[in-house]
Structure 1
Amino acid sequence: MKKQARPAAQNTARPDVYQLVTDRVIEALEAGQIAWRKPWHAAYGLPRNYVSGRAYTGINAFLLHLVGGTPFFLTFRQAKELGGNIRKGAKGMPVIYYNVTTRTRTDKQTGEEEKTPFIKYYTVFSVDDVEGVEIVLPEQPQDRNHEPLAAAEALVTNWATCPRIEHGGTQAFYAPGPDFVQVPRPETFISGEAYYSTLFHELTHATGHASRLDRPDLAEALRPSGRAGYAREELTAEMGAAFLCGHAGLNPSATLENTAAYLQFWLEQLRGDKKLVVQAASRAQRAAELILGRPAPEDTEPDPQPTPASPAPAAVVVASEHAQPACCGETGAIPSRPVLPTLPPVILGQETLPSLTTVVVATQRIELTRLLEHPAFTDEQRRTATGRILAETDPARLGRWLTNIMQRVAEWEDQTLAEEARQNPRPYPLDEC
């Protein structure tokens, strides 16, 4: 009896979900679209499942916002169950979620049984691509009394463990050691949206403090060799600010620019770390929920974070020149930061894009620290220079230091080569070797 030929083996390899998501974000960046700019719809808020009404969070909110149009989605099966179908040629979007294995294993150190978490995805389609069934959308809210700037201020005021906030200077940053946020004065920003989006960015950094979420990326970003942690922490802050702007009803899109340097930086980071954007979005979601005083959603990355043993003291808002303390937990009058319905023209130059400045400063710090490892410098010089570099936030000054150190290295190498040539003259011309 002749044996039947075996069917060709099918490719059963599981798709790399991290790479799938990263490729979508890279595709958007290459087209000049910043995926994490705005994760919500002006009328309906965060993208939602049309059938369950559940909002998508984390990286899903950003991915689905890339689709545009109506921010309601459903799966192929949900469309069929409603009596319709997905339009031919429609492009679905992945929605990721975390799960745990059914098998348990015993931890060798603790002896406790634990399940391994893993990431999965399913595909959803916009309701704009559904045919054969009438799609009935909820009524759009008509809250004409909503004041986004006041809502943004209340968000900061009501955060129970908000760090100290100081105003002044031309730089925005978070200092983990003393645990305070520094931002320029509100009136120096081009708009109230620009001011609050910058403040939210720095406050998201502050959620990583050991007394709050104890985010390892924040600690790693402070080390000279912590480039990976820096990129993840910076992207977390950008995404966290976007979530908070959306909650307050702000539209900070005018404060961001699709500059070539900005896009190129993130393209390089994402191509080198496929988990970067997923992890950053998950941690940004946690950070935003902490500031909003809400529990983190279930579909965030299962990366347990220590909870603070005791709440941090209420924040004090301090103006740089005239101290005017006000507790963030108080209600009633807004603290020293004013509500900003109208503002004079910006006087901070490139400070309208603080995230880009932060990227440039961090890149300069990394390059300066690398150059200091050159034998042209002593250990004492390295220690002194490294302290100044990590404390400096002015990209222009860092740039001048970078030029000077590169010149010092070049001079040292020229002198060393010349000395070697004098001590070891060649017995014959170089072109006869």
Structure 2
Amino acid sequence: MKDHRQSLYAEVTQRIIAELEAGRLPWVQPWDASQCACTMPSNAMSGRSYSGINVLILWGAGVEQGFTSQRWLTYRQAEQAGGHVRRGEKGTVICYADRFTLRDGADKAQSEDREARTVAFLNRFTVFNVDQCEGLPEALKSLQVSADPIVAVEAVDAIIRASGADVRIGGGEAYYSPVQDYVAVPPQAAFHEPINWYRTALHELGHWTGHTSRLGRDQSGKFGSAAYAREELVAEMASAFACASLGIVPTVRHADYVGAWLPVLRADEKAIFRAASAASKAADFLLSCGEAQA
């Protein structure tokens, strides 16, 4: 199991590194190269959105194969829906992380009145895009429609209001201050495209979610350090995931950080998995603020 797990970590990490070295960001590229609507990938049967590293894997597969949808399902789900995967189609491998408790360890922990130690495991399974299937109900095959940009912008405003974040508009820099717990964003007039104000605000709010009173990420890293690069990676993807969920096309905000991210990913094959997981949690935190106000 160990070799299997490590090979999956290495395989995905090398793929992400290759994209970054080529100047492509896996959380931005889909909206430049694919005909697919701007959205998060989801399971066609349950409607549940995929999260973490699987978002990057499925976005990448959608771009590479030119799929028109970000709806996915397993071979068995396609049959349960009344259709089937076309002969010769190759699925996309995604992963599922969880933890289990060894039976001997659980018995010993119980006798010693303590929590049992759990062991992490990573399983891979295969999904297919609805474009790779035949005979599916029209409801599963229908094209996804992007959200109205105006509505999407209103949704970000709602998130900012409901979050209770101290957002200070003004000045010439966008940043988050962990010590004073506030977000600073230049006025919208300072941006060449007004929509970029919202993308930037979501990036800084991504940092804001990491405060010790919220999701509690390590934000102690100084500029240029590995810890700083890891937090920037989380905020970048958190903004992209939130944007895609709201129908706003993600774009690169800090392209100059790519050089700092690469050493982090090369040094730790699990780093992109951790960052993507943290980004999903951050995006979900922000989106739940907007849902609470709705």
TM-score, normalisation: structure 1: 0.56
1:156 counterpart = 2:160: yes
- Size of the aligned set, in residue pairs, is 277
**Counterparts of 1:109 and 1:193 in 2: how far apart (Å)?**
57
1:283 counterpart = 2:255: no
Q: Deviations over 1:224-245 (max 9, x none)?
A: 7x82322221110001111222
Other-structure match for 2:73: 74
Other-structure match for 2:25: 34
Residues 46-85 of structure 1 aligned to structure 2 (within 5 Å): 46-68=40-62, 69=67, 70-79=69-78, 82=82, 84-85=84-85
Do the aligned partners of residues 61 and 145 (structure 1) sit closer, same or farther apart at CA in structure 2, a change above 3 Å counting? closer
1:73 Cα offset (Å): 1.7
Other-structure match for 2:215: 213
**Counterparts of 1:149 and 1:53 in 2: how far apart (Å)?**
24
Do the aligned partners of residues 56 and 159 (structure 1) sit closer, same or farther apart at CA in structure 2, a change above 3 Å counting? same
Match for 2:14 among 23, 46, 56? 23
**Counterparts of 2:120 and 2:200 in 1: how far apart (Å)?**
34
Other-structure match for 1:111: 114
1:140 Cα offset (Å): 4.1
1:15 Cα offset (Å): 4.0
Any runs of at least 4 consecutive aligned residues in structure 1 with deviations exceeding 6 A, and if so which? 38-42, 107-110
For 1:72, give the aligned amino acid: R
Match for 2:123 among 120, 124, 144? 120
Q: Deviations over 1:336-392 (max 9, x none)?
A: xxxxxxxxxxxxxxxxxxxxxxxxxxxxxxxxxxxxxxxxxxxxxxxxxxxxxxxxx
1:190 match: secondary structure: coil
1:240 counterpart = 2:238: yes
Do the aligned partners of residues 170 and 83 (structure 1) sit closer, same or farther apart at CA in structure 2, a change above 3 Å counting? closer
**Counterparts of 1:230 and 1:108 in 2: how far apart (Å)?**
43
1:101 counterpart = 2:91: no
Unaligned runs of 5+ in 1: 1-10, 295-327, 333-433
Do the aligned partners of residues 210 and 115 (structure 1) sit closer, same or farther apart at CA in structure 2, a change above 3 Å counting? same
**Counterparts of 1:262 and 1:91 in 2: how far apart (Å)?**
34
Residues 188-267 of structure 1 aligned to structure 2 (within 5 Å): 188-215=190-217, 217-219=218-220, 221-222=221-222, 227-253=225-251, 256=253, 262-267=257-262
Higher relative contact order (CA 8 A, sep 6+): 2
Tell me, yes or no, if the aligned pair for 2:168 and 2:185 is still in contact at 8 Å. yes
**Counterparts of 2:93 and 2:130 in 1: how far apart (Å)?**
15
Tell me, yes or no, if the aligned pair for 1:64 and 1:93 is still in contact at 8 Å. yes
Do the aligned partners of residues 140 and 201 (structure 1) sit closer, same or farther apart at CA in structure 2, a change above 3 Å counting? closer
For 2:130, give the aligned amino acid: V
Unaligned runs of 5+ in 2: none
Do the aligned partners of residues 113 and 102 (structure 1) sit closer, same or farther apart at CA in structure 2, a change above 3 Å counting? closer
Tell me, yes or no, if the aligned pair for 2:40 and 2:245 is still in contact at 8 Å. no
**Counterparts of 2:204 and 2:112 in 1: how far apart (Å)?**
38
Considering only CA atoms, is the larger Rg found in Structure 1 or Structure 2? 1
Tell me, yes or no, if the aligned pair for 2:244 and 2:250 is still in contact at 8 Å. no
1:95 Cα offset (Å): 1.7
1:147 match: secondary structure: helix
**Counterparts of 1:165 and 1:249 in 2: how far apart (Å)?**
23
Residues 270-309 of structure 1 aligned to structure 2 (within 5 Å): 270-293=265-288
**Counterparts of 2:236 and 2:110 in 1: how far apart (Å)?**
36
1:135 Cα offset (Å): 5.8
1:14 match: secondary structure: helix
Residues 278-357 of structure 1 aligned to structure 2 (within 5 Å): 278-293=273-288
**Counterparts of 2:238 and 2:194 in 1: how far apart (Å)?**
18
1:251 match: secondary structure: coil
**Counterparts of 2:204 and 2:83 in 1: how far apart (Å)?**
48
Residues 378-397 of structure 1 aligned to structure 2 (within 5 Å): none
Tell me, yes or no, if the aligned pair for 2:239 and 2:250 is still in contact at 8 Å. no
TM-score, normalisation: structure 2: 0.79
Percent of aligned pairs sharing the same letter: 36
